[in-house]
């Protein structure tokens, strides 16, 4: 939640927008395959997706393929979290695919003249600040959109995943950034930040005068015909979004989380694969669908342009921009994940194609395997091998290793019970004061150091213990148990040492008294000397 734990990352995404298989410009691939007219290809695509679902233990998914400005293939696989068959009308949550939606909303306000991309955020949100006021004053809207604001990746764990649906939840989360120290100055480094997108959602609320979810319906979803899109708790309940699934020691288990209004701008937009396909169609046609425009062609191109170098490819205004591995085709894409859900949009603008895949399960340590479904289909459309990612042994070993560590610590805590055996009691009494102090000091120091390391490890990749519990429940619970037992061991050994030393002092005093008493007894028992007179 993991150096090992943090491979969990408690790589964070923190929290969402996760690493995908490396992309490279390998040169143009074979000629474009036409899904619309090739039934055999459609069957192979479906078979490939089924195989990926089996490999990751994902119960259900939905797939859509776009060619030439229209949907040419769309279908569901498996079951949702309530046992119903997944169809193109089954709702999912989209994770960080919400970020391009937020990017579109911000650009709408730019084109309306209400927002300047290069103006300080504080012009629109005077209360906005990080722990460093000077840095806060210099953060612009563009910095937030491109993840170059200086807000650390760890801030996503600090203010995200609150599942807060109270009025003003989004603004409350953004205000909590005031306690976060910046990792760098604005524009200096790239750091993926869901927290920055939370601020952008509040900015849209402020300049539009509308709650963010209501704004999205009015200005994005309704014009694009995204009839089942989710951006409010009411939408979530109306669409009856089924539970997603997490992995617990290799078993796929449902995770019925509530909605999170405080997380809509960066991760909690949702809807059916039909809804996300309509959003994608508008992106491919310069911000327009069925004669209705939500953004100018120029503004749409600006969101899809790679503005800065990121951890993977370049990053635009909500989108990642790179090339599709094995084909060299320009690719505009976004991965998004939540505990229990995974989403992918891959657009290939030069050939007017796109792949959309939604899944109702996710495992943070196996993110590449989940993303293989969409990337593989995109490569198959170009006639190249889809390729797959083998399971990282870490994903299997880490939860069990953490559970084993917790079990070992439990045995250490229980070990003093052995002192109740006569032999152990005698051995304990035989220890010198120096040995008691030395042994206890080393044990307590080791236990406290271990607890500190386990608590600190998630932060090295931008995560927290709380994120570990949410995203990797088996690993997170083992981590918490190990930390708790290490602390308990330190307390227990300190208390036992104090008791042993007190007993040792009492024993020493008793031994001295016994020796003195025995000496007095010997003196009293010694017969008095008498003088015997001999007769003359």
Rounded Cα–Cα distance for residues 200 and 213 (Å):
13
Nearest partner of 402 among 487, 453, 478, 481, judged by Cα: 478
Which DSSP string do the residues of 388-404 spell out, in sequence order? -PPPPHHHHHHHHHHHH
Cβ neighbours around 225 below 10 Å, total: 16
Residue 452: phi and psi, rounded to 5, are -65, -40
Alpha-carbon span 272 to 291, nearest angstrom: 22
Phi then psi for 54, rounded to 5 degrees? Answer: -65, -40
End-to-end distance of the chain based on CA atoms, in angstroms?
Answer: 107
Question: In three state form, how does the secondary structure of 229-274 look?
Answer: CECCHHHHHHCCCCCEEEEECCEEEEECCCCCHHHHHHHHCEECHH
φ/ψ (deg, to 5) at 275: -65, -50
Segments in 382-471 forming alpha helices (H) = 393-414, 422-430, 433-456, 465-471
Would you say 205 and 232 are in contact if contact means Cβ atoms under 8 Å apart? no
Going by C-beta distance under 8 Å and a sequence separation of 6 or more, which residues neighbour residue 71? 64, 65, 277, 281
Is 96 tagged catalytic?
A: yes
Residue 16 zone, left/alpha/beta (φ > 0; ψ -120 to 50; rest): left
Q: Are 387 and 326 in contact (CB under 8 A)?
A: yes
Q: By the 8 A CB rule, do 396 and 7 touch?
A: no
Q: How far is it, in rounded angstroms, from Cα 69 to Cα 282?
A: 9
The number of CA neighbours under 13 Å toward the Cβ of 478 is 22
Rounded to whole angstroms, the maximal C-alpha distance in the chain is: 153
Q: Are strands 60-67 and 341-348 parallel, antiparallel or unpaired?
A: unpaired
Structure tokens at 532: 């015997």
Positions annotated as catalytic residues are: 96
């Amino acid at each position: 939640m993991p150096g090992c734990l943090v491979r969990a990352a408690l790589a964070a995404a923190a929290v969402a927008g996760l690493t995908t298989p490396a992309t490279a410009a390998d040169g143009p691939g074979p000629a474009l395959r036409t899904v619309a007219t090739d039934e055999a290809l459609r069957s192979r695509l479906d078979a490939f997706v089924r195989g990926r679902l089996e490999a990751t233990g994902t119960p259900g998914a939905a797939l859509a393929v776009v060619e030439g400005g229209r949907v040419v293939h769309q279908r569901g696989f498996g079951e949702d979290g309530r046992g119903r068959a997944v169809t193109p009308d089954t709702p999912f949550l989209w994770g960080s695919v919400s970020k391009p939606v937020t990017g579109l909303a911000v650009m709408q306000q730019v084109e309306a003249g209400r927002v300047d991309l290069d103006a300080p955020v504080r012009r629109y949100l005077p209360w906005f600040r990080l722990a460093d006021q000077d840095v806060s004053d210099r953060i612009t809207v563009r910095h937030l959109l491109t993840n170059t604001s200086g807000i650390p990746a760890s801030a996503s764990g600090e203010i995200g995943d609150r599942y807060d649906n109270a009025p003003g939840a989004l603004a409350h989360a953004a205000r909590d950034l005031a306690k976060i120290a910046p990792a760098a100055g604005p524009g200096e480094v790239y750091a993926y930040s869901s927290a920055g997108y939370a601020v952008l959602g509040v900015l849209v609320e402020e300049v539009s005068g509308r709650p963010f979810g209501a704004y999205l319906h009015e200005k994005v979803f309704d014009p694009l015909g995204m009839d089942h899109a989710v951006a409010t708790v009411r939408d979530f309940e109306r669409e009856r979004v089924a539970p997603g699934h997490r992995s617990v020691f290799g078993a796929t288990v449902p995770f019925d989380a509530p909605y999170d209004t405080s997380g809509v701008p960066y991760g909690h937009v949702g809807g059916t694969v039909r809804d996300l396909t309509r959003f994608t169609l508008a992106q491919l046609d310069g911000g327009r669908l069925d004669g209705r425009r939500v953004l100018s062609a120029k503004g749409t191109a600006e969101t899809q342009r790679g503005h800065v170098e990121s951890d993977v490819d370049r990053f635009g205004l909500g989108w990642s921009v790179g090339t599709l591995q094995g084909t060299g085709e320009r690719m505009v894409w976004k991965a998004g994940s939540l505990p229990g859900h995974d989403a992918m949009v891959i657009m290939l603008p030069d050939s007017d194609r796109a792949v959309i895949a939604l899944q109702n399960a996710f495992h943070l340590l196996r993110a590449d395997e989940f993303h293989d479904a969409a990337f593989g289909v995109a490569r198959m459309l170009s006639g190249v091998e889809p390729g797959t990612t083998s399971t990282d042994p870490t994903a299997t070993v880490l939860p069990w290793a953490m559970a084993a560590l917790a079990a070992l610590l439990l045995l250490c805590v229980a070990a003093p019970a052995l002192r109740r055996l006569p032999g152990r009691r005698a051995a304990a009494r035989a220890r010198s004061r120096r040995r008691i102090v030395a042994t206890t000091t080393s044990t307590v120091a080791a236990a406290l150091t271990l607890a500190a390391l386990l608590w600190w490890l998630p932060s090295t990749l931008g995560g927290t213990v709380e994120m570990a519990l949410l995203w990797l429940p088996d690993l997170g619970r083992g981590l918490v148990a190990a930390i708790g037992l290490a602390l308990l061991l330190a307390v227990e050994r300190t208390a036992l040492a104090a008791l042993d030393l007190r007993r040792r002092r009492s024993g020493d005093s008793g031994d001295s008294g016994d020796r003195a008493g025995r000496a007095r007894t010997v003196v009293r028992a010694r017969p008095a000397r008498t003088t015997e007179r001999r007769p003359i």
